Amino acid sequence: MEHRCVALREGGLLSGIDTTGPAITDRLVETLNSHLRNVPPDVDWATVRLPDVGLDSMSAIELVITLEELFGVQFPDELLVRETFEHLPSLEAAVRSLLGERA
């Protein structure tokens, strides 16, 4: 499903900043590190389950709000599911789809 029609807004915190390629991944990792409480220093973001490093329902809500502000997007209801927040790659794919990129 194409999410771009509901996603792009003017004025995200990253307006005018490169939000392509590794820049998105870097911003997501920074954001996750600031929102999650059990992140070990040697975490493998490609494989770790986000619930295993502290993502629960409340922190997921806070994370969505932060990501919407940061990237200037809006998560539609169909992306607000457990699978989106299971791993960094699934979260990154959702953000990229909202930004109109291919993951």
Locate tokens 């590794």: which residue? 22
Q: Output the CA–CA distances (angstroms, integers) from residue 31 to 34, 44, 68, 76, in the order listed.
A: 5, 15, 12, 20
pTM, two decimals, is 0.79
Q: Which is more confidently placed, 13 or 90?
A: 90
**Helical ranges in the chain per DSSP H:** 4-7, 22-35, 57-71, 88-98
Residues 52-89: pLDDT tens digits? 999 999 999 999 999 999 999 999 999 999 999 999 99
CATH superfamily of 4-38+45-98: ACP-like (1.10.1200.10)
Residues 29-53: pLDDT tens digits? 999 999 998 899 999 999 999 999 9
Which of 26, 16, 47, 10 has the alpha carbon at shortest distance from 95? 26
Tokens of 30: 């920074």
Domain range summary for the chain, segments of one domain joined by +: 4-38+45-98
pLDDT of residue 37: 87
Distance CA 76, CA 21 (A): 23
